[in-house]
Structure 1
């Protein structure tokens, strides 16, 4: 189920570090070591497989960018919000 814009903004405000750019959720994660970022990407991949929903991932040395969008749903859904929370939990474990 797609969120209405006001509801989506409220949900995103509860997601630490995430912001809304048009119809996409984005977050930049910074690590103090390159391999910690790569370990995080591995965990993001596992979470994504479990959700059967995959983010766009960009690795720039010790920075990992994630972008979540739901083109097939024509907008962001509760699935995207839950997945973003899980990515944040994975980040806390891999810092």
Structure 2
């Protein structure tokens, strides 16, 4: 179910490091080593498979950028925010 504009702003306020760019949730994760970023991407892939919802992933040396959008839902949904929360938990464990 697509979230209203008010719900989007409420939810984004609860997510550390994420920002809203048009209709996409975006976060850049910084790592001290390249391989830590790659291990994080592996964890992101496992989480994404469990959700059956996959982010756009960009790896730029020690920076991993994730972009979540729900085109099939015609906008961001609660699922995107739950998944972003899981990604943040994985990042906290990976540091």
**In which range does the TM-score fall when normalised by the shorter chain?**
over 0.9
Aligned to 1:7: 7
Match of 1:92, SS?
helix
Aligned to 2:73: 73
TM-score when normalising by structure 1: 0.99
Gapped regions of structure 2 (runs ≥ 5): none
Is 1:20 aligned with 2:20?
yes
Match of 1:64, SS?
strand
TM-score when normalising by structure 2: 0.99
Aligned to 1:51: 51
What is the CA deviation profile of residues 1-58 of structure 1, one whole-angstrom value per residue up to 9, with x for unaligned ones? 1000011111011100000001000000000000000000000000000000000000
CA RMSD of aligned residues (A): 0.4
Gapped regions of structure 1 (runs ≥ 5): none
Match of 1:42, SS?
helix
Match of 2:75, SS?
coil
Aligned to 2:63: 63
Structure 1 runs of 4+ aligned residues shifted over 3 Å read none
Match of 2:45, SS?
helix
